């Protein structure tokens, strides 16, 4: 299975489109991504807030890598 990470530009497009009232399916069609990708991106990167934050999404991959591979002591 091949996949690519969302780019910074795509994340900001998702942010702008969601803020202007577009639905997830519309956003997916506009940026040529699967609707479930948009859904996961919006729910995963809210940063503890109600609003989606693309800047948090850009920082997350590095944070997840550090935490994910820690071995229990």
The domain ranges of the chain are 8-68
pLDDT at residue 69 is higher than 80: no
Confidence of residue 50 (pLDDT cuts 50, 70, 90): low
> 33 CB contacts (<8 Å, ≥6 apart)?
6, 10, 27
Confidence of residue 2 (pLDDT cuts 50, 70, 90): confident
More confident: 46 or 36: 36
Q: What is the dihedral of CA 29, 30, 32, 38, to 10 degrees?
A: -70
pLDDT value of position 48: 59
pTM of the prediction? 0.66
pLDDT value of position 54: 74
Residue 48 has what DSSP assignment?
Answer: T
CB contact at 8 A, 57 and 11: yes
| Residue whose entry in the numeric block shows the structure tokens 């999404």 | 57
pLDDT at residue 57 is higher than 70: no
């Amino acid at each position: 299975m091949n996949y690519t990470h969302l780019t910074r530009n795509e994340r900001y497009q998702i942010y702008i489109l969601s803020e202007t009232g577009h639905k997830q399916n519309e956003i997916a069609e506009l940026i040529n991504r699967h609707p479930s990708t948009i859904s996961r991106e919006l729910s995963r990167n809210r940063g503890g807030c109600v609003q989606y934050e693309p800047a948090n999404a850009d920082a997350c991959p590095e944070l997840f890598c550090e935490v994910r591979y820690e071995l229990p002591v």
